[in-house]
Amino acid sequence: MTTAVYPGSFDPITLGHVDIITRASQLFDTVVMAVVKNPGKQANIRIEKRLKLVEDSVKHLKNVSVEAFEGLTVNLAKAHNAKVIIRGLRAVSDFEYEFAMSQMNKRLCPQVETMFMMAGLEYQFLSSSMTNEVATLGGDIQGLVPEHVRQYLLTQQGGAE
């Protein structure tokens, strides 16, 4: 059994994330999607709601589970006996941060490998933060996030939860 973890803020989950988790679910026996609740990082959407939006986005993927998580990703990986941390890479922008993070994780836990999956072409420039910004300003985010996420963001216009 090969288990992987896919950590992220998912604030909110976008179709770029869904693309990565869908492809990852075909490569590993089990994938744990870990929604980070980091008290030091201001999130737009509260953790319970982010978790629910992620769950509803991946419930059709039978080997994917979703949980909230706080702390070091390598500890999460160890707790699940996972050998792999999955991260998505978009053109240029993600590389430096992701490279540094993977080096640190390797140092903390040499037996856990970070694997990068290239973002789908249509999602290269898609980010949660930009999606939030456009949604808050009343712009059209159809095709950027799952439909239930779009509906939720519509209800939040003028003040995110």
Catalytic site positions: 17, 41, 90, 128
> Considering the rule CB under 6 A, would residue 44 count as an interface residue with ligand ADP?
no
Supply the minimum distance, in Å, between the C-beta of residue 15 and ligand ADP: 7
Helix ranges (DSSP H) in 26-112: 47-58, 73-79, 95-108
> Considering the rule CB under 6 A, would residue 20 count as an interface residue with ligand ADP?
yes
Nearer Cβ to ligand ADP, position 22 or 158? 22
Nearer Cβ to ligand ADP, position 103 or 158? 103
d(CA 74, CA 111): 10
Residue 7 zone, left/alpha/beta (φ > 0; ψ -120 to 50; rest): beta
Interhelix angle 47-58/15-25, nearest 10 degrees: 50
Identified binder of ligand ADP from the candidate list 25, 28, 32, 123, rule CB under 6 A:
123
Identified binder of ligand ADP from the candidate list 4, 10, 34, 153, rule CB under 6 A:
10
